[in-house]
Structure formats: C-alpha cells, structure tokens
Structure 1
C-alpha cells in the first residue's frame, strides 16, 4: 500500500478518499465498524457551537469545510445513492453572555451572523419556549445527517478499486524500521505501507504512547437523546445554555450533549438522560409529551483548544497525524483531510498548515 489510514471515522474515511482519488493505493483499518464511533454519535452541526470562541486555526478549517459540504453531499449522493442530507436550517443562539464578541467576530470574518428580535424568532420557531430575551442567528448554517454521511463515505470507498477497508481489526502498535514507520501491527497480522496516517479519534493518544510520544488527545464522553416529531415541528436549530436541538428532515430532533471525562466508558446514564430531557423541555416545551426514541454516547477526541494535529510526526518518517478535532470533527473534516492530502502530496495547502503541525506542539524537534 502507498498509504494506510488508521481509523474509520469521518476523518479516516475522508482522508482515505482524498488520497485515493489521486491514484494512491490506500488501506484503511478500523478496530470496530467504520463510522460507528464519534462520527456516528455526534449531532452534525456544520459549525462550531460557538465559533467566535475558537482560535483562528479552527475558524480557518471550519470556513473552508462549511463552504465545501454541499458539494461533498452532492458528490456522494451521485456516487453512492446515499444522501448525507446536508440540511440548511440556520441556527439561533439564545441569551448568550458574549453577544458583542460574537457580532465582532462575524464582522471581522465576514460571516452572516446577526442579532434578531425575539418576536421574529418566536414566529419563525413556534415550538420555542417563551422567556428568552435575546437571539443571534446565522441563517446559512446546515446540519449533516452524520450516520448517513459515514455510510456514504464507506460506500464510496468500496467502489474504488485502489482502496481496501479492514474492519474489526484493531491496531496495537507501529512497525519501526530504523526510525521510519513502515506499517502497523494488528490482530490480523502486520500491515505494511509507505505512509501511515493516524486518524483514530479518541484512541489516537493511546496509539502514540506505543512510540513513547505523548499526544494530548483524550476521550471526552458526550451523551445525546433523540425524539421523533412532525416534520415541520422544528424549522431551525436552536442553542441555549450549552444545549442544542437539531432537526432532521424527517422530524427527528436531536438534543445534546453532555461533556464527561470518563476515560473510554461509553455507558449511557440515567443522570444524563434526565438532564438532557430537562434541557429539551426548556428549549421546546412540547417535547415533555414526546417519547425519547434514542439515547447514546460517543467519545470525542479532546485536544488543547480543540485544534487538530495535522501533519508529519518529526523523527518518525512515514507517520502522519489527522486527529484531535474534539467537538468539531464533522465540521472540520473536509478541510482537515484536504490539508493532509495537500501536505502528503506536496501540493499548495488550502490553509497555512503551521497551527496544526505536530512539530513543536508535541515537543519534538523538526
């Protein structure tokens, strides 16, 4: 193989695709089932929850991805007949503490965020609870149906003759040859490749420890619940007090999410269920009479400031990182994977790669 991608979430799947379309022979290895971890569990808002609170490094990737997502969805639908459902609903932020910062950020970045009269919000979203005093809106924010997105990416890779996907195949370590990474060790035997991309989400830090490298990517559990309502129940995404409601086209409503440091435990809890149901009713009172049709947990790849690691690992030729996206893996995936491919192929990068480079950030000499 030219490239072996470790991790079958949206970052790994899209990394494999971006490299395979250039003719590279690509393998992808996933410990469980591709796309069923954090990528499946998330909400799919195609924006950081509070974009103005992030560094310019996150903003740069988010802007590129937001503009690219509709094209990606069209491409995947045409190729696989699976619709990722990029659904432009807009997003309302309610009763923020930092409205002024948000509006200043939007003006600086040229993003269409504006203050909206609450009476207009109530007319636009009749199901919204009364009592909120202020609102900001970004009308062009979409959400993507992330389980369908990863299913479409998986199907697209299956159609490519130069791609092989290995599922239920856990990676236990890397193969070193004179300081160069030449493959990985797995439960099904060694796999060799000219280049290895680590895109294992919350598990990336554990795998880097096998090389004696401390990569500060740790699991952060998030629990969500799902309701089924009428298709026109919620026409826009709403966010207040750190919790959000996301409508799907068919009337499903996602409510999320918790932030828990619980190592690799994905157990759902009654405490989180009650908390999420309370948040749901605070936002949308009619949900008090609706049945929860789903409750699950996923593990985000937590990282400092939520800035992903994208680029080569110094001192370990052949090893590349694309991990540590924290709460924004789905948001940042298209840009992150394009940037990785640019760097690996020696192309002009879409954004300045310096903020994401493992060199320096991991205390390793370049």
Structure 2
C-alpha cells in the first residue's frame, strides 16, 4: 500500500461499516489524521449481515465499473487481510473456496467476461459438477466453476478492521449519529457536523453512510438515489466438509464456513428501512438449500437475520467529491457488493482526496454522474 502521501488536514468519516473502516484504514496508512463517527455499533448493519463472497453474483451481468473495482480488490485482498490480521490479532477467515454456478445458460456471457477481465471460468458437465461437489442433489445438471472467488467471514472482518483502526490510533465514536452538515456562509465548505452528541468541527468530511447516506446528503441540498434494500439470510449448523465450495443457483447461494456452518441467502426486498425477518423468506431459503443439498434437511437453522444494503442505480457506487461542498467526499452505494469492492473503493477515494494517481478512472464513479 502507498504510504508516502500525506495531508495536513484531519479527515472525519461518517459511517463505521466496511466501506467507512476500509477508507479510514487507507487514509491512516497514508499518514492522515483520521476519525470515524458511527450512528450505532461499527459494522453492525449490512457489513455484518452479508455473506462475504468476494465477487459480484454473476459478475458478467454487472457494468464494467463494478467489475473493475471487484477485480482490483480480489487481487489485493490477501495482502490487505494479512496486514489487518497482524494489526488486530483477528483472522477474518479469508478462504479461497471457489464458486460453483449452476446456471449453465450463462456460459457465453461468462466466458466473454472472463476473457476481458482475465479470470478463469470453467464449464463443467453434470459429472464434473458432482465430482467437485458430491453433496449436491443427484439431478443437478451442468455448471460453471469460478476457482478465483474467495470469501471472508463478515463479522470477523468487521472485528478485525475495528481492531486494526485501534492499533493505528484512529478514534472511533460509536452511537454518534450525524443529523446534518453545517456549512460556511458561502455554502462552499462543511465546517462542522451536527450530531446527537453535539456539534463536531470538521476539516475534510467523507460520507460512507451506506443505506442512510441519501438522508444525510439531502440535508446539503443535493442527494443521491441511494435506497435501502433488505436482504434476509439463514445460518445452518451443518458439519465441516459437508459442502466444500460456494454454490450459486437461480439468484440464491450457499456459503460454507470453516467450522461447517452454511449461510443460505439472500432475498432482495424493497421495504424501506424495515429490517424485520419474515417466515416467507425463511421458507424460501430453506427450500432452496435443501433442494440443492438434500442432507441440509437435517441441519438446524441457527440464526435468521436481515440487513439493509445501500441500493444504487446499476450497483455502481458513488466515489468522489460532492458537487458543491469542496471538502466533502462520498464513498457509498455499493448495493450487494460492498465487501468485494471495499478495498478498491477506499483506495480510489484516498487517491482522489490525497491527489494520488487514481487506480481506476474516477469519472466512472463521479457522484454527479451516479446521481
């Protein structure tokens, strides 16, 4: 990581999810004075709730700017995880488990995408699919094998990032909800943020508030089309080795963890800020899991939860400077792919804020273009 660039102005980050914490990590590693404000407990919204797949689902269906961020992150995740693990003493369980896609009709698009982004995608016949994953139902057909796809365990990554920031002496204020930005008389700069604990002066402000970003930016007189999208998940208590790889089929997935537990996810629901779980979603995810892996009918449901993703048009995040407030930067709108796009998004934001050479074309993520 580049640690040579410095800024004399302290940076305040709003949002203690994976995006906000990765951004704090990048800026602090670059020598910045950084602090972070979080409305609740760090990492307990969509960052905690997701599956941790280090790839967009069906990446060939996504616009190139999403894939560019994802591929950069995939290439750098091992080094970043190593540093974060060393700083925090917590292992986020980065696992190169690969992903099996049981939608063979996707093969032409997948192969074209793989050639352009230099990723390996292998077509498997039914015998190859069962050789790779014997636990699948007997009638499972052909599939696509993506060996480059890894996973992390979200709750452990959240804890590791929090520990790394502590080791880097980044102040984190939890239960400190920002309600508005306070601007100077000209309206060209943010001078402070109003919070539930009082007003806090700022020099440079980064908004990484996930699904809540739209509300906060609206108070500046300009907003982004960011909306909460509910996703429900199940955790099944299976046996270690019962499922070897991540499996994706018909928009749902199974993710095996090191300890044998298996995540089944996820739903896609436009229900506002409602995080209520529903029996209908539990039934849907259980039917999917047991149809794909019949032995999971004996695995009890250990947990059922929901999270709110920061939905954005086409899944492309907004990364860059506010169109009016010149000391306010934005890093938000990652929809379903915050974990896999997190490192690249944080690095790109750092490049823009510190004046470095951008790792990717900034115009693709320009907040005005996204908005």
TM-score, length basis structure 1: 0.97
Instruction: State the distance in 2 between where 1:335 and 1:57 align.
Output: 11
In the TM superposition, what are the counterparts of 1:273-292 in structure 2 within 5 Å? 273-292=282-301
- Tell me which residue corresponds to 1:160: 168
- Tell me which residue corresponds to 1:169: 176
Instruction: State the distance in 1 between where 2:85 and 2:220 align.
Output: 40
Structure 1 position 359, deviation (Å): 3.0
Structure 1 position 24, deviation (Å): 1.4
1:144-181: CA deviations, max 9, x gaps?
011100100001111223x2100011110101112211
- Tell me which residue corresponds to 2:128: 120
- Which of 292-301 and 20-29 deviates more? 20-29
Q: Secondary structure at 1:59's aligned position in 2? A: helix
Mapped pair 1:241 → 2:250? yes
1:271 to 262, 276, 280: 280
- Tell me which residue corresponds to 2:305: 296
Structure 1 position 213, deviation (Å): 1.4
Kept in 2: contact 1:227–1:252 (CA 8 A):
yes
Instruction: State the distance in 1 between where 2:358 and 2:254 align.
Output: 35
CA 172–89 in structure 1, closer or farther in 2 if over 3 Å, else same? same
Mapped pair 1:359 → 2:347? no
- Runs (4+) of structure 1 moved beyond 6 Å? none
Kept in 2: contact 1:312–1:358 (CA 8 A):
yes
Structure 1 position 341, deviation (Å): 0.3
- Tell me which residue corresponds to 2:101: 93
Structure 1 position 85, deviation (Å): 0.6
Structure 1 position 211, deviation (Å): 1.5
Structure 1 position 22, deviation (Å): 1.9
Instruction: State the distance in 1 between where 2:359 and 2:326 align.
Output: 23
Structure 1 position 61, deviation (Å): 0.3
Q: Secondary structure at 1:115's aligned position in 2? A: strand
Kept in 2: contact 1:182–1:318 (CA 8 A):
no
1:39 to 38, 47, 50: 47
Instruction: State the distance in 2 between where 1:83 and 1:24 align.
Output: 26
Kept in 2: contact 1:182–1:196 (CA 8 A):
no
Structure 1 position 98, deviation (Å): 2.5
2:324 to 304, 315, 321: 315
Structure 1 position 203, deviation (Å): 0.4
- Tell me which residue corresponds to 2:58: 50
Kept in 2: contact 1:95–1:132 (CA 8 A):
no
Kept in 1: contact 2:38–2:175 (CA 8 A):
yes
- Tell me which residue corresponds to 1:109: 117
Q: Secondary structure at 2:145's aligned position in 1? A: strand
Unaligned ranges ≥5, structure 1: none
- Which of 336-345 and 22-31 deviates more? 22-31
Q: Secondary structure at 2:53's aligned position in 1? A: coil
TM-score, length basis structure 2: 0.95
Instruction: State the distance in 2 between where 1:107 and 1:16 align.
Output: 34
Instruction: State the distance in 2 between where 1:212 and 1:315 align.
Output: 9
- Tell me which residue corresponds to 2:264: 255
Instruction: State the distance in 2 between where 1:138 and 1:3 align.
Output: 39
Instruction: State the distance in 2 between where 1:23 and 1:355 align.
Output: 27
Instruction: State the distance in 1 between where 2:340 and 2:115 align.
Output: 21
- Tell me which residue corresponds to 2:4: none
Instruction: State the distance in 1 between where 2:98 and 2:230 align.
Output: 26
Instruction: State the distance in 2 between where 1:175 and 1:140 align.
Output: 45
- Which of 317-326 and 125-134 deviates more? 125-134
Q: Secondary structure at 1:183's aligned position in 2? A: strand
1:210 to 215, 219, 235: 219
Unaligned ranges ≥5, structure 2: 1-8
Structure 1 position 133, deviation (Å): 2.0
1:118-161: CA deviations, max 9, x gaps?
21221221111122222001112101011100100001111223
- Tell me which residue corresponds to 2:5: none
